[in-house]
Structure 1
Amino acid sequence: MSKTVNLIKLSVGTEDVAGLAAWQATRRAQSDDGYPQHVTRMWPKRESEILNGGSIYWVIKGVILARQEIVRLDEYNSADGIRRCAIVCDNPLIRVAATPRRAFQGWRYLTPEDAPIDLPEGRDDEEPLPAALSEALAAIGVR
């Protein structure tokens, strides 16, 4: 049985999940198959684990707020001739329990055990808790 691993990525310049959705709508319009993609410099070494049901978790303003299932990883040749990785995501953004996360560069692996839980249906429009409160709750094991 293959393991699954997720990616976690900062959504730089995004104010909220709606802003990420709007940015991705423009990316979908530019794609051949209607899936949004995020181009990154490095190719994940754990590709088979990512493609075994992994998602990309989006950090917005220091808090993980949403995820998307990863459909595939495509080779992307940029104008500068450098081979890059296009992380192709499924269309719906799935809201998750707000979880604080410090800034980092690039992307990181995120185990399923450390990933925030999906919000139940009907809670998509809730405002996230303040970062300090969310961090204090996470410290005592409440998500």
Structure 2
Amino acid sequence: MEKHTHLIKLSVGTESVEALAAWQDSRQAQTDDGLPRHVTRMFPKRESEVLNGGSIYWVFGGLVQCRQRILRLDRVTGTDGVSRCAMVLEPGLIRVSPTPRRPFQGWRYLAPSDAPPDLSASRLQEDALPPGLAGALADIGVL
């Protein structure tokens, strides 16, 4: 069986899962076939691993809070003539157990063993904690 890997990325320009969902619903953030996408400068060298079941994990306020499955990686050219990678994503954000993550630039590979678990159906019904409180609880191992 071919292995897979994930990507992890700080959500720049959106401060919450809800704000990212709203942005992805805008036409500006979608491909011609209506799927959400995120354009980044670097193209993953481990493309086959990413496309073999990988997700992008989104970080907000120092916490990994959700993920989306990556459907494909399209090469696109910006208005400046530079080639970029458009990560085409499955619609909908899947909440994960809030997990602290230090700031970094760009995206990084994330091993499946290091990926936070999806929230259970019962936890999805809970009101979201403020990011600062969720981060503090995650730091001490409560979340």
Q: TM-score if structure 1 supplies the norm length? A: 0.90
Counterpart in the other structure of 2:140: 136
Offset of 1:126 from its aligned partner?
A: 3.0
3-state SS of 2:121 partner = coil
In the TM superposition, what are the counterparts of 1:105-124 in structure 2 within 5 Å?
105-124=105-124
Tell me the distance in 2 between the aligned counterparts of 1:28 and 1:80.
17
CA contact under 8 A between 1:96 and 1:117: conserved in structure 2?
A: yes
Q: Over the residues paired in the alignment, what is the CA RMSD in angstroms?
A: 1.6
Residue 32 of structure 1: how far off its partner (Å): 1.1
**Runs of 5+ in structure 2 lacking a partner?**
none
User: Structure 1: 5+ residue runs without aligned partners?
Assistant: none
Q: Displacement of 1:12 after TM fit? A: 1.2
Match of 2:109, SS state, is strand
The answer on 1:126 being equivalent to 2:130 is no
Q: What do the CA deviations read for 1:30-88 (whole angstroms, capped 9, x no partner)?
A: 42111100000000010000000000000011100000000000001001111100000
Match of 1:40 in 2: 40
Distance 2:122 2:92 in 1: 15
> How many residues of Structure 1 are paired with residues of Structure 2 in the alignment?
139
- In percent, how many aligned pairs have the same letter? 60
**What TM-score does the superposition give when structure 2 sets the normalisation length?**
0.90
- CA distance in 2 between partners of 1:123 and 1:60 (Å): 19
- Give the corresponding residue for 1:4: 4
In structure 2, relative to structure 1, the CA distance for the partners of 1:48 and 1:30 (3 Å cut) is closer
SS at match of 2:79: coil
Distance 1:28 1:91, change over 3 A: farther
Greater than 2 Å deviation, 4+ residue runs: 27-31, 122-126
Deviation at 1:27, TM superposition (A): 4.4
